[in-house]
Amino acid sequence: MKITLKDGSVKEYAESMSVYDIAKDISEGLARVACLGVVNGEEVDLRTVVSEDAQVNILTAKDAGGLSTLRHTASHVMAQAVKRLYPGVKLAIGPSIADGFYYDMEFETPLTSDDFGKIEDEMRKIIKEDLKLERFTLPREEAIAFMQEKGEPYKVELIRDLPEDAEISFYQQGEFVDLCAGPHLMSTKEVGKAFKIMSLAGAYWRGDEHNKMLTRLYATAFSKKEELEAYITMMEEAKKRDHRKLGKELGLFMLNDAGPGFPFFLPKGMVLKNTLLDYWRELHRKAGYVEISTPIILNRSLWETSGHWDHYKNNMYTTVIDDQDYAIKPMNCPGGVLVYGSESRSYRDLPLRMGELGIVHRHEKSGQLHGLMRVRCFTQDDAHIFMTPEQIKDEIKGVVALINEVYSLFGFQYHVELSTRPEDSMGSDEDWEMATSALQGALDELGLPYVINEGDGAFYGPKIDFHLVDCIGRTWQCGTIQLDFQLPQRFELEYTGADGEKHRPIMIHRVVFGSIERFIGILIEHFAGAFPTWLAPVQVKVLPISDKYMDYAQKVKSVLDDANIRAELDTRSEKIGYKIREAQMQKIPYMLVVGQKEEEEGKVSVRSRFAGDEGARDLEEFIAQVKEEIRTRQAREVTVQK
């Protein structure tokens, strides 16, 4: 039997071997840290026996798949601990997720965070017991009866939803048995000591608000304690940066029960939003885009032609006008297609880059709403590029360059995913293959590293997704480039080629910010509300030492206003120390303190968020510095006081 390993090397064995034994044959060290086997592309338990020639990869917790397996096993350990402590609990689902795992459960009495320590202690006992995780299967009806006997109605429902001929698999560790497809670690001991229960929340069964509300217990696990400690530190920092908390404190936006998922932008938030949009317009004008605006409501026949009615209707808000069905747009693209088709086009007009800051509405379930990150109404910085086949790669490269310029400005690193055809899609195999190859080819020519995300493309075409990394290491999916052969066909778009014949254009959908609202939420957390001067809603706060110097302070503010610097004047009869602290709490980049000396000398005393007390300056000199900082959109570094 020949086993081909991840590095391309080949090992020969005279008889069948388990994945674990193959790992042990490679090295004892690998066997100790192995979490998961991948045999011919299929994820399997380490005790799975390989009996014929195969490609075998062995993953550890350093690999995403290996870490996911460790966490999935930890979720079973947590469920077992809960069952021991609360025998009447009913179990739902317990998957691993991006930053840990959770388990949804129905408790007889409410669980609180005070119970976390008790559950963690029981988990440690289970881990110490070194219980083997053993897989077994049952026929469908026996599986249903088995779970009914154990009093697990949610498991019974899950089994009933499986295909008639499905193999129903379970994992057992000691007295605990769970319905699960796996894979898992070989023993509870391998989960280790680096785990922690993080929080609890309510979660509707199967995400449906008409179902029972369950308790979702969130936790995480790592292979090393220092990794867990680093994660906990990051989460503590994330709480301080929560955009919902800072948005309220800084007066940027509000949420109200009158419109769940529909954010209200306050005056300072509108300054922030409009500054971003001004930057967007400047950037796109330089890149050769024209701006359009399309209606927010369009009739059903348009959405049927575009395919959204069949593929996206459950996320759309609909209404009836003059006895006809209409939908509030969830996406801007059909409107952009109508603009393209409104007049005859020649190959000389292409590529045609049309940008739109369009307001869209999408129905999100109430349990999924989250501040500005997950809303029902948002502004999407869309653009649709119509082009010839020969222009595809250059246009993709141009969009990548534009996205890179934006993310670099804010200090974001990013990684790229290429998402391929989903199950629910439209179009021919040939079109999908051509579109996917075009995106892949552009990325290869750019030398941009990427990973393949199988089956996660849009229903009309494959896409490139940009996942940016903020200053505390979290990732956010924002920018995307989607190549579409389908809408131009469905709407019968044309252009006249150099040969005088009619041809079908190809279309790119792309966003840079994505949702403006979500991007603002990300920026709030990335900068912890301390925005670069060019982006700050208030750039300068003028602070008179007492009411005697209010007239001079007002003159200073007027000069700042004339220089188009966003300034506020603190007119309160408070002590100067209090005013300074308040301005610091509001994360304002610059404070200008004015009193008798400043008025007599015609100067201002500058305090900054970056370096503290910067001394007395001529006002014009200060204005010139700030205007240059705004013009270049450069961010000053904060000086660390030692």
Cα 199 from chain centre: 20
Catalytic residue among 463, 503, 541, 566: 463
Catalytic residue among 104, 178, 382, 570: 382
Residue 180's alpha-carbon distances to 102, 159, 187, 203, 569, in angstroms, are: 14, 10, 16, 20, 63
Catalytic residue among 268, 273, 376, 380: 380
List Cβ neighbours of 349 (8 Å cut-off, separation of 6 or more).
495
Q: Tell me, yes or no, if 380 is annotated catalytic.
A: yes
Q: Reply yes or no: is the peptide bond before residue 295 cis, omega within 30 of 0.
A: no
Cβ neighbour number for residue 122 with a 10 Å cutoff? 18
The string of DSSP codes covering 308-366 is HHHHSGGG--EEEETTEEEEE-S-SHHHHHHHHTTS--BGGG-SEEEEEEEEEE----G
Catalytic residue among 384, 421, 603, 609: 384
Q: Tell me, yes or no, if 362 is annotated catalytic.
A: yes
List Cβ neighbours of 196 (8 Å cut-off, separation of 6 or more).
120, 219, 220, 221, 228, 232
Which residues face 347 on adjacent strands?
none
Which residues face 608 on adjacent strands?
590, 612
Catalytic residue among 184, 503, 509, 526: 509
Q: Tell me, yes or no, if 72 is annotated catalytic.
A: no
Q: Tell me, yes or no, if 333 is annotated catalytic.
A: yes
Q: Tell me, yes or no, if 510 is annotated catalytic.
A: no
Catalytic residue among 362, 526, 541, 607: 362
Long-range contacts of residues 252-258, Cβ cutoff 8 Å, at least 24 apart:
252/520, 252/524, 252/537, 253/372, 253/520, 255/371
- Calpha distance 67→221 (Å, rounded): 8
Closest CA to 486 of 310, 295, 284, 317: 310
Cβ–Cβ < 8 Å for 47, 34: no
Whole-number CA gyration radius for the chain: 29
Question: What is the side-by-side strand order in the sheet with 134-138?
Answer: 134-138, 168-173, 176-179
List Cβ neighbours of 515 (8 Å cut-off, separation of 6 or more).
375, 378, 379, 380
Catalytic residue among 45, 72, 216, 333: 333
Catalytic residues: 333, 362, 380, 382, 384, 463, 509
